[in-house]
Structure 1
Amino acid sequence: MQTDKHSVKKQKNEAGNQTDKSSVSGSLDKEAMYGTFVDMKTFQIPDESIRVNKLTELDDVVKRSLAGVGISADGQNKSGNFLMYNNKVAHHSAAVDGLELMPLSEAFKKYDWLKDYSWKLVDPETDKYTATTYLEDSDGYFIRALPGKKVGFPVQSCLMIGSEKSMQTVHNIIIVEEGAELEVITGCVTHEDIRRALHIGVSEMYIKKGAKLTFSMIHNWEEEVEVRPRTGIRIEEDGQLVNNYVCLKPARSIQTNPTARLVGEGAKAFFNTIAVAHPGSVLDMGSRVFLDAPRTKTEIISRTITLGGEMISRGDIIGNATEVYGHLECNGLVLNEKGKQRAIPALEANAMNVEMTHEAAIGRIARDQVEYLMSRGLEEGEAVGLIVRGFLSAGIEGIPEDLKAEIADIVKKTENAS
């Protein structure tokens, strides 16, 4: 019997999903609502994998790839480490009390109650990507902060693709129990030798009463990689989420639109996105938040740049209770004449006494700003870089120190883009 401690109230799945495999099979050809078409038949589930006892045992090529997304092999100042190589877990370790970190497949064997959390926030029939992940019975990480525990250092995880023309399907579950605090940094990356692949990552996050989760995702793909994350989040009374999404390197296409439901009074969710669309890339990114309980709050902020690719920024806030607050901010820079920027903000109020606002702005770097900085002694490229650095950082709080170097790197590439 499942105890009340781990109950999700035995309710119908919040995504309204069926878990019958024959039913899910009917969605294998169901296209996603947004994003470019991906022919999944051109990719295969790879058999190749690796296994190490410590991340320091990895070869230098893999270590370099991990370092590119802020994952250190020495694991210093980290509470736990997780590495998934292709579709199998290569390493996992937890270094502190109060933290559980293991493959999801192992967690299912350990905890019977975990089935009441699995596929409850993401409907496997959503599209062909979720259906494939469900039917593959995909593995991933299970991360749990125990009640009242404040995990001092971040957990670092890496989802790595190591086979050409492969399809990586991942299913992750994070549970932050009542009063606990947890930070997770996840890096998604391809091996140096890989050019074309498909990554599908399904993540379900549960933030209990008074708990806090800071989750940062860093993408570092090759130019021919297709990326389809699918994320569902549930936040209870006085719980808080800070979600950082950083994509500064090229990818063929990314389509992501995490959905958060704030079901407890006083719950908060903050979504921060920094993304760059390189030539040939189509990035369709956004966040969707349901304010389902009184005095809930959300802010969705994106800072995006196109260097020649197509950038679509979505934001959707739905106010379903009284005294809720929501703010949506989409700002984009066009630094190449072939680049495209599109902002699609949406607000919906279904209750009295709500406060929701949005602002969206798209443009190029103002010439007078560049000339002003040049008058102060900066070269033109330096002036552009300073403006871009300030643009990417403005209004976005809670970004880990490890990511600032990534931002500095992309600034160097934009110095001559104006």
Structure 2
Amino acid sequence: MASTLILNGTLVNEGKTFEADLLIVNDRIEQIGTDLQHLNADHIIDATGLHILPGLIDDQVHFREPGLTHKGEIYTESRAAVAGGITSFMEMPNTVPNALTQELLQDKFDIAARNSIANYSFFMGASNDNIDEVLKTNPKTVCGVKIFMGSSTGNMLVDNQKTLENIFANSPTIIATHCESEEIIRANTAKAREKYGENVPIAMHPVIRDEEACYASSSAAIALAKKTGARLHILHISTGKETLQFDNSIPLKDKKITSEACTHHLWFSDQDYAEKGTLIKWNPAVKTAADREAIRKAVNENRIDVLATDHAPHTIEEKQNTYFSAPSGGPLVQHNLPALLDLYHQGVFTLEKIVEKSAHAVADLFDVAERGYLREGYLADIVLVNLNKSWEVTKSNLLYKCGWSPFEGHQFKSSVEKTFVNGQLVYDSGKVIEGSNGRRLDFDR
């Protein structure tokens, strides 16, 4: 039996911030109290000056394995995740080969079981012609089904209306969608090419993948979900207009249609393309400062239900390319929590809201078993942060396999000090403690 006693910390949990001690025994939180100093433990941590948070659960990452491992691997990116306070992740199916069969999906679980430092689940992929495989998905052991209603890798664009209706009506678990209208994007692309030829500037990205493209697709998905009764989760909302489609009058547990915002849409705006260029090329695109403010407001108003990263690394050589040749996506898991804490310092979010949207609500939305909260009896996924320890993002402290970040040169105000996964210390004061401590997530469905 192994035990760790964390003393004198400030817990942020379930809408409250309070001084407390916390005892971990084996893989679980044994006790939370205001005076546990008398207890014996194998390891004692003095958390004076530190805040104790539940480990973050990231419901949208692309860790690139199998098939794209020159960009990232489950091992490398899970190391970066725990350094950023993310203790569980849900990974997308657009790897190579695409996870479009139950066997290919299981291959990814097998890799993670061997190599992941963080807890894990993987989305089953949908295509225009794999409905039989989608219907075999076990809702108790798989986080959800992913539908690209916008361009993706390989055979993953689902644009057949009959197929969409079939999946929405019959999916055994939550459906997560990437919503952008391919028809509108193609038309906008043609206009941009007419004007600029192949030398389209990166500043045109949010014009090509514009508000209309996002809204047309997300509103269609919502209409289809209402028609079929599907449990729908719309990923990476990037426009203010889209946020108004979501209901904040009912509690999360009763919602059939939910939404997510990602760090880059909360942080950057179209003004940043001039400096960052293709390093902040994401799909959906980073849009206007007004969109950014509306998304922040929607998070605080509970129109947006969860926060995530859409971590999607590419090599720097791939990114440093012309507009049409540079792929969309960037690495974020290591810097997600520090970025959110900077927004706390700016008065955008409270600590309680960050924890709610990055841990509690993700666990509730996906019915994750025994995680996402600091509760006695729950699995001990825990993060200790120093709100007042600043640090600069440099190449030397990046853990992503791709070796770059859009945050390079930025001075964050807060740091992740320690991360526990299933009761094991996996990150401590700048160092990852090696070992495949991650476990497959279970779902109470």
Q: Which has the higher contact order (CA 8 A, sep 6+)?
A: 2
TM-score, normalised on structure 2? Answer: 0.27
Question: Which one has the bigger helix percentage?
Answer: 2
TM-score, normalised on structure 1? Answer: 0.28
